[in-house]
């Protein structure tokens, strides 16, 4: 396993209480650090990855959560539903215009929770995402952060092939940077900093 996702999920639960809230979950087709079984009033899972949403729908059905979770295949910009919280899970930095996304989020809910990489994380260098993360971090700072908590973990890979498979979707620069680990004879460990922000 690349990193300890149970720990990331625990960090989220300790940082913000989603209980009894209507939550717009952006980037819901990823790993779902916000468990669909969380006792929200309503969890509205939003993502444009239709295939991944099908898998999420199957998971929700298997857990019997159809009444409390709604799944919507759409870009966040298209969403007009209102709630108590808009929650971005490791996706704000991927958006074309993070500032526009936050302004839109504020028009939908009073609370915005952003779970994402820290700008100083070594891991985002190997994912070739340092510019994206710095941009979204600056936008959040300008927008106004009410509370922030930073955490530290590690991305662990048994070998170079496993690391390469992880960074491959990030493109040629990430592949080039990962090559420094080619021929590694022990586990590959890359520090990862990540943070939770309440806006």
24-45 tens-digit pLDDT: 999 876 666 777 677 889 888 8
Would you place residue 73 in the very low, low, confident or very high pLDDT band (cuts 50, 70, 90)? confident
**For residue 193, how far is the Cα from the chain centroid?**
13
The pTM of this model reads 0.89
Q: Nearest Cα to 87, choosing from 101, 100, 99?
A: 101
Six-digit token pair at 80? 């007009």
Q: What pLDDT score does 164 carry? A: 94
- pLDDT > 90 fraction of the chain, expressed in percent and rounded: 65
What does the domain layout of the chain look like in residue ranges?
5-154+193-198
Q: What pLDDT score does 47 carry? A: 81
Instruction: Kindly provide the residue ranges of all beta strands, DSSP E only, lying in 4-121, ordered along the sequence.
Output: 22-26, 42-47, 69-73, 85-89, 111-117
Which contiguous run of DSSP H or E holds residue 63? helix 50-63
Architecture of domain 5-154+193-198: 3-Layer(aba) Sandwich (3.40)
Compute the distance between CA of residue 36 and CA of residue 70 in angstroms, rounded to an integer.
10
């Amino acid at each position: 396993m690349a990193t300890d996702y149970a720990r990331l999920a625990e960090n989220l639960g300790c940082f913000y209480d989603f209980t009894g809230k209507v939550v717009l979950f952006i980037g819901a087709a990823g790993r779902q650090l916000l468990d669909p079984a969380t006792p929200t009033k309503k969890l509205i899972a939003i993502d444009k990855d239709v295939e991944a949403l099908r898998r999420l729908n199957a998971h929700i059905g298997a857990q019997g959560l159809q009444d409390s979770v709604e799944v919507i295949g759409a870009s966040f910009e298209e969403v007009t539903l209102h709630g108590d919280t808009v929650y971005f899970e490791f996706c704000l930095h991927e958006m074309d215009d993070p500032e526009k996304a936050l302004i839109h989020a504020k028009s939908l809910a009073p609370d915005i929770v952003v779970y994402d990489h820290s700008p100083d994380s070594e891991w985002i260098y190997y994912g070739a995402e340092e510019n994206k993360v710095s941009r979204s971090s600056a936008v959040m700072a300008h927008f106004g952060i009410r509370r922030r908590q930073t955490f530290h973990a590690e991305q662990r890979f048994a070998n170079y092939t496993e690391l390469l498979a992880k960074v491959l979707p990030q493109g040629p620069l990430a592949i080039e940077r990962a090559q420094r680990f080619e021929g590694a004879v022990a586990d590959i460990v890359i520090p990862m900093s990540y943070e939770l922000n309440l806006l």
